[in-house]
Chain A
Amino acid sequence: MNRSFHKSQTLRFYDCSAVEVKSKFGAEFRRFSLDRQKPGKFEDFYKLVVHTHHISNTEVAIGYADVHGDLLPINNDDNFCKAVSSASPLLRVFIQRREEAEHCSFGAGSLSRRRRPLALREDGPRRRAHLHIGLPHDFRPVSSIIDVDILPETHRRVRLYRHGCQKPLGFYIRDGTSVRVAPQGLEKVPGIFISRMVPGGLAESTGLLAVDDEVLEVNGIEVAGKTLDQVTDMMIANSHNLIVTVKPANQRNNVVRCGRVSGSSGRSSDSTASRHSLPAAHVLQNLPTDEMESDEEPDVVLEGVLEPRLVPRPTPGSLARVNGAGLAPGLHSPGREGSVHRLLSSLRSDPRHSLALPPGGVEEHGPAVTL
């Protein structure tokens, strides 16, 4: 599926200022072109669209498919400009009636999920209908908390999405000691901690990771007994889709479970969680199945000599497939929505200055003990 992108990408380099637009409303297509350099105003575009589709009397929402296959909205000059300039080369525009659009969320994965509903075990866009969340429409998920239902409350599993995001991951780790309760009393054990956040980096911007959080797992592999360098290498090797399980230094913002939600329903709506709670049969799998396609970006293969020489760019085409859920799985369950909101808001307010330990805390971040 990605091959098609590469081929079309190569066309991008053909020098032409016109952008071909393929506009779809219902089952009807219209084709027209725009000037790439001077696309004009959104209002004019809106008028042009409703005119060409002969739907001048209906309120419509306009969206487009970006290079990653995500359905993103066109509702102002800025994102209109972005849409035209990033079209490669075809700009695919989708028009919906405003009232229908209300139920359909924009965002990553929205298009491709529709195309490959089975591969991701999604219930399809209709389930989404219940889930209108007031996020700005052109947001792309950058992180999520996953596996809330299977982890201890003191732990947090954070997934960082680097696809299509130019931000650096932006954090540092260090060696340290953590104190655990052992049968014979407190016991100091070596651990790996987050030591620094790069301002403006992905890790900082999520607010889900903080300095002095202890790293417990990297993509499902425990870090206990591994050296700082090993953990560094593991994180870098997984940097395209990094899932870190941490024990936050600040234990006050932990997810509070309000009763046990029915496990089956919680899981079935939660593709990310179920995927990762599987006994990892495909950790070592050598079959060209799921993981090869969905877990990771494919390698770029160029055939023959291409002039002018293409600098192979990372093609983040499979973002949509990987990150199908789009949002933190906890959000899918209406019963938990409140608590998650609470969590998110408290995290945003100040994730790092409230480092008080929970009462009777069994763990503290130790001093930096290094090699």
Chain B
Amino acid sequence: MRRFLRPGHDPARERLKRDLFQFNKTVEHGFPHQPSALGYSPSLRILAIGTRSGAVKLSWPRGGVLPSGAFPEHAPPSYGAPGVEFMGLHRENNAVVQIHFLPGQCQLVTLLDDNSLHLWSLKVKGGVSELQEDESFTLRGPPGAAPSATQITVVLPHSSRELLYLGTESGNVFVVQLPAFCTLEDRTISSDAVLQRLPEEARHRRVFEMVEALQEHPRDPNQILIGYSRGLIVIWDLQGSRVLCHFLSSQQLENVCWQRDGHLIVSCHSDGSYYQWPVSHDTQQPEPLRSCVPYGPFPCKAITKIFWLTTKQGLPFTIFQGGMPRASYGDRHCISVVHNGEQTAFDFTSRVIDFTVLVEAGPGAAFDDPYALVVLAEEELVVIDLKTAGWPPVQPPYLASLHCSAITCSHHISNIPLKLWERIIAAGSRQNTHFSTMDWPIDGGTSLAPAPPQRDLLLTGHEDGTVRFWDASGVCLRLLYKLSTVRVFLTDTDPSESLNAQGEDEWPPLRKVGSFDPYSDDPRLGIQKIFLCKYSGYLTVAGTAGQVLVLELNDEEAEHAVEQVEADLLQDQEGYRWKGHERLCARPGPVCFEPGFQPFVLVQCQPPAVVTSLALHSEWRLVAFGTSHGFGLFDHQQRRQVFVKCTLHPSDQLALEGPLSRVKSLKKSLRQSFRRIRRSRVSSRKRRPAGPPGEVPEGSTRAERAGLQNMELAPVQRKIEARSAEDSFTGFVRTLYFADTYLKDSSRHCPSLWAGTNGGTVYAFALRVPPAERRMDEPVRAEQAKEIQLMHRAPVVGILVLDGHSVPLPEPLEVAHDLSKSPDMQGSHQLLVVSEEQFKVFTLPKVSARLKLKLTALEGSRVRRVSAARFGSCRAEDYGEHHLAVLTNLGDIQVVSLPLLKPQVRYSCIRREDVSGIASCVFTKYGQGFYLISPSEFERFSLSTKWLVEPRCLVDSAETKNYSRPCNRSSPEKASGQASPYCLFPYRNSGSQSDGEERRSGPVMEHALLNDEKVLKEIQSTLEADRGSCGDWRSQRVAVGYSLGNGGAE
């Protein structure tokens, strides 16, 4: 009978809420999960990637909750210049097999694995382009024909722009007229017709051959080349319906390339060979000019695709996929480039999906002059500069492979000072010297987005002990700098590296490219918590084996020893044995560190359990860290431990023995083995299933479904029991927080450290930090001042102190840097404790409860992430409010007001089953956030009306095409210093994504934009005003929010 009582409907407040809060999923960062097809338009200079779903659909669907409950699995996102990107989603639940741009048009055709064709076009609406599906079509054969008769294997968009030639498994080539997809039956080139027109000696071939290749003559649109799988290639005259010439090879045909002038055909075959055939109409059946098995003489794997590209200099480029010696290198994913006596086999760490070569030549040019090789591998996009000697890779400005090593944690810092930003970029540019200086060659379209209003960093911690620094200011998530903590420790990686190096100089000339490397040398190196102070450049990272590193930004290379300290968190607890992993072994003596963040202190927790919370106070030079056993405080100025506190309940044997780490490692090993199985299954699958398509996946899903049904028979029941002090892992430290507040009496404030545990206990320590001039002489002292036991005993996930104006206390050094007004120390401070179940406000210094919001009791949802954020109003420029952004275990995002704890808005954001997505969520201090929608993609969302980062771009088919050579950059520094484009407003047709309580205003705005240019301009000017206000806003010294979610068990 207690009903959820809506907060009183105050119209003014409701209006204000509309100005402050709005939910949008704005852009997906990272590399598409499970790409399956690549398309490139040389005229638009735009790249399209199609994705597929597979058996892993349940665990990693693409983000977004469609009202129908269907998940958009298969998007062909298109990418051009940085900031230019589109997303389209097929209604069907099938993988994209092929993508073809129609020549010279803003249209593309996709082939799905259910044999359906879809026509998409980029349409300009309201000044920006939008990708939308126009038509779809499934090829139907005559009644009674085998399904394979119409199973499409090859699609050839004809240069006439209105015909599509479709090669099928039956060997027939069907002709379809665009854009309506009318089948022109009289123009079908049946395999029988071709056979009849062949001379007698070529007809002994079996009739049933599938079409492997279709090519249009580079000069004469009336001739097409048809390659059949058994090795027959014919040139077909479309006007006369006759065979102009035919070529017979003894091997299975894989693919064909037609030289630009039309005089030479290069075919590649399943035995790893390629043949060159002269085209002359004099001889009907010419002999090959040359045949070659590049990696012979031992049996080789098939060459599945080949490019033969001419250059002005004379010598052609031969670029082909596969063909490696079967026995020793059959498992490599290689693309070989041969030119002018040089040969390199680019060795990818994941399966190559497809590749293409970018050429400078316009349609009428005499030579191809390739300049870049674009390879879509399963886990990353690699572009190789073919103009520069040595063929270096080009650093992609987008589609970054976030999951080079699995992401273990992330940390976001808003509004980075320019000085730090430049130093990080400088450190990063020295790491990127192996990249080409070529500008990003895929540069179609124009990004209309304004420059980013502020500099934001997203830090991701990885399983291999690295931390990657991403520029998260705009639409393109760009890697700035990579920090590795591995050098601090002794690992067994070094010998294997040298082994690899040995293998490099042998034949074949393999060269590893790409950054995807999923195998961690030592799982203990994994990064679990990150904390960066943007003012001082101090960084602290903590890992799986209880290691806490304190790092300092240094612009020079330096060699020094890392000071090691052990923190015994068990203290006097006797008789316990840690059964988890051992702690990492630090490298003794001085270590050489490259410019960038260099570690100077290593604290190792004992027992070496995973670090579960971390806090850094750069002004007091203190680092606090917590594990499942307790927490400690370290003074990194004097390099000594201040204190440790054991939080274990004496009866909690489980935590002492370290099953957490065992559980974790079991989970991890399971995950890894699943990954391996998946990968091997994927790589063993042929490019096309031999039988009718869809049969294999269908069978497997049926098996899975049966498995699920078996599981359903087990009754699922849940125990209803109150939490008790004796529960396991009550001592697990979930959150740590530094605050300068009134802890002991109301007249004097002092530094304090707060810690919250899994058992609902909050410890508060009063700290005495010596003044700056005696900082090195006197020790930092700490004394326990308070211990609060929440009676509901739910895990404490966040602690925050509000000043006299109920504003969260500023970050350390923020006031000193004049970026925030000083906190109000006159009024009484309040303590906010967020547990998984409740929000509670207490008075300080006498801790008595003032307010609370019982979330779980009301809704049955638990708090997973909480962070204070400042929400700016989209109307009044300087108006903003501080509130809590909350993510629950149901995937809902809520805003809870400060200090009155009133729920403001609620939106459903992540599916509740998507545990990894929920666990990976980070909030920014201005009401945005990120979460993983797949191992390789972050979805960016915004709760704020003011802070939105969204793609907004234009692709114009009529724009003058510039086929000029890409100019090399004058200096890498200049280019890396460029701000990446920043875009506003969503232009995607990915369906409705927010169905919260609040009516989404996005579609309304979109609608207005699409129809009314005046409105568009008005909004644009508002946005520009916003951007202008960014500077003002900083000088107004508005306090920014505090992140609370620094605990968080994984």
Chain A residues in contact with chain B, CB under 8 A?
Answer: 147, 150, 162, 168-175, 195-196, 203, 217, 219-221, 226-240, 242, 276-277, 279-281, 283-284, 286-288, 292, 296-305, 311-314, 368, 370-371
Contact = CB atoms under 8 A, between A and B. Distances in A.
B2 interface: yes
A283 B853 CA distance: 9
B786 A301 contact: yes
B3 A170 contact: no
Nearest to B785: A304
Nearest to A301: B847
Nearest to A369: B712
Contact of A300 (B722, B789, B856): B789
A126 to B, nearest CB: 30
A298 B791 contact: yes
A266 B787 CA distance: 45
A302 B853 contact: no
B715 A240 contact: no
B722 A277 contact: no
A368 B791 CA distance: 34
A280 B5 contact: yes
A266 B722 CA distance: 33
A286 B721 contact: no
Contact of B858 (A172, A221, A299, A371): A221
Contacts of A238: 857
Given A171-B720, A174-B716, A283-B5, A299 B856 contact: no
Contact of B3 (A280, A286, A301): A280
B718 A229 contact: yes
A97 to B, nearest CB: 40
Number of chain B interface residues as a range: 35 or more
A232 B789 contact: no
A233 B856 contact: yes
Contacts of A305: 783-784
A237 B857 contact: yes
A169 B2 contact: no
Contacts of A368: 715
A237 B783 contact: no
Given A171-B720, A288-B851, A292-B849, A233 B902 contact: no
Instruction: Sort A-B residue pairs by CB-CB distance and give the 7 closest, nearest first.
Output: A230-B860, A220-B2, A280-B2, A239-B722, A237-B856, A232-B718, A312-B789
B793 to A, nearest CB: 9
A203 to B, nearest CB: 8
B629 to A, nearest CB: 16
Contacts of B649: 311
A221 B4 CA distance: 8
Given A219-B2, A370-B712, A300 B718 contact: no
Contacts of B903: 284
A219 B856 CA distance: 12
A283 B3 contact: yes
Interface in B752-805: 761, 783-792, 794
Interface in B49-65: none
Given A283-B5, A301-B847, A371-B712, A239 B858 contact: no
Given A276-B1, A280-B5, A302-B786, A240 B718 contact: no
22 contacts: A168-B721, A169-B721, A173-B717, A220-B2, A221-B857, A227-B912, A228-B716, A229-B860, A231-B860, A234-B856, A237-B838, A242-B720, A280-B3, A284-B858, A284-B902, A286-B853, A286-B900, A288-B851, A301-B786, A301-B789, A312-B725, A370-B715
A298 B848 CA distance: 9
A236 B720 contact: yes
B901 interface: yes
Nearest to B787: A302
Nearest to A282: B2
A286 B901 contact: yes
A301 B856 contact: no
Contacts of A228: 716, 718
Contacts, number: 172
A323 B206 CA distance: 90
B861 interface: yes
A292 B838 CA distance: 13
Given A239-B721, A288-B849, A305-B784, A234 B716 contact: no
A151 to B, nearest CB: 9
Given A236-B722, A297-B791, A230 B861 contact: yes
A4 to B, nearest CB: 14
B974 to A, nearest CB: 54
A220 B854 CA distance: 14
A111 B720 CA distance: 31
B5 A301 contact: no
B2 A371 contact: no
Nearest to B841: A286
A232 to B, nearest CB: 4
Interface in B884-905: 889-890, 900-903
Contacts of B784: 304-305
Contacts of A239: 720-723
B837 A237 contact: yes
Contact of B860 (A233, A311, A371): A233
B13 to A, nearest CB: 15
Interface string B710-740: 0010111111111101000000000000000
B3 A220 contact: yes
Contacts of A304: 784-786
Given A286-B900, A301-B847, 9 more contacts: A147-B1, A169-B722, A233-B837, A233-B862, A235-B720, A236-B722, A284-B858, A284-B902, A370-B715
Given A236-B723, A239-B722, A368-B715, A281 B890 contact: no
Contacts of A297: 791
Contacts of B901: 286
A169 B840 CA distance: 26
Contact of A314 (B719, B791, B857): B791
B859 interface: yes
B850 interface: yes
B722 A299 contact: no
A160 to B, nearest CB: 10
Contact of B717 (A150, A195, A300, A312): A195
Contacts of B853: 284, 286
A312 B856 CA distance: 24
Nearest to B900: A286
Contacts of B790: 299
Contacts of A195: 715, 717
Contacts of B847: 301
A153 B861 CA distance: 31
A288 B5 contact: no
Contacts of B902: 284, 286
A370 B4 CA distance: 28
A370 B716 contact: yes
A196 B717 contact: yes
B242 interface: no
Contacts of B583: none
B123 interface: no
A240 B862 contact: no
Contacts of A292: 849, 852
Contacts of B912: 227
- B719, B852, B856, B902 — most chain A CB neighbours (10 Å): B719
Contacts of A301: 786-789, 847-848
Contacts of A302: 786-789
Nearest to B719: A172
Contacts of B5: 279-281, 283-284
A172 B3 CA distance: 25
Given A175-B716, A283-B2, A288-B849, A312 B787 contact: yes
Nearest to B912: A227
B496 to A, nearest CB: 44
A147 to B, nearest CB: 8
A220 B860 CA distance: 13
A299 B789 contact: yes
A175 B2 CA distance: 23
